[in-house]
Amino acid sequence: MPFTEILALGMIGAFFALLLLGVPVAVCLGATGLFFGWIGFGPMLFNLLPARIYGTVTNYTLLALPLFIFMGIMLEKSRIAERLLEVIGLAMGGLRGGMALAIILVGILMGAASGVVGATVVTLGLIALGPILNRGYDHGVAAGVICASGTLGQIIPPSLVLILLADIMGESVGTLFAAALIPSLILSGMFIVYILVLGVLRPESMPPIALAEREALTGRQLAGQVVKVVLPPLALIFLVLGSIIGGVAAPTEAASMGALGSILLALGTGRLNLTMLRDVTRSAFVTSAMVFLILIFAQPFGLAFRGLGGERLVQDAFAMVPGGLDGQILFLLALIFILGFFLEWIEISYIALPLFLPIFHAAGADMAWIAILVAINLQTSFLTPPFGWALFFLKGVAPPRLRTIEIYRGVVPFIAIQLFAVFLVYLFPQLALWLPDAIGW
- Other C-beta atoms closer than 10 Å to the C-beta of 80 total 26
Cα 65–66–72 angle (5° rounding)?
Answer: 90
pLDDT confidence of residue 431: 94
161 and 173 in contact (C-beta within 8 Å)? no
Name the residue with higher pLDDT: 422 or 328: 422
**What is the pLDDT confidence band of residue 85, given thresholds at 50, 70 and 90?**
confident
Cis peptide before 158 (omega within 30 of 0): yes
Q: 260-318: per-residue pLDDT in tens?
A: 888 988 888 788 888 989 998 998 888 788 778 877 887 888 788 777 877 677 667 66
Q: What is the pLDDT of residue 434?
A: 92
- Which residues constitute the domain of residue 241? 3-314+389-410
Number of domains in the chain: 1
Identify the pLDDT of residue 415: 93
Task: Please report whether residue 123 resides in a domain.
Answer: yes
SS3 136: coil
Mean pLDDT of the residues in the chain:
81
Distance CA 280, CA 52 (A): 31
Residue 83, in any domain of the structure: yes
138 close to 146: Cβ distance less than 8 angstroms? no
The mean per-residue pLDDT over the stretch 320-334 comes to 82
Q: Between these two residues, 281 and 219, which has the higher pLDDT value?
A: 281
CB 414 within 8 A of CB 147: yes
Q: Which whole number is the average pLDDT over 118-132?
A: 75
Query: What does residue 321 show for φ and ψ, rounded to 5 degrees?
Result: -75, 125
Examine residue 170 and state whether it is found in any structural domain, yes or no.
yes
The predicted structure's pLDDT at residue 20? 74
Residue 280 lies in a domain: yes
DSSP for residue 11: H
Q: How many CA within 13 A on the CB side of residue 136? A: 12
Residue 109 lies in a domain: yes
pTM for the full predicted model? 0.78
Examine residue 228 and state whether it is found in any structural domain, yes or no. Answer: yes
Report pLDDT for 419: 94
Look at residue 415 and tell me if it is in a domain. no
Q: 252 in a domain, yes or no?
A: yes
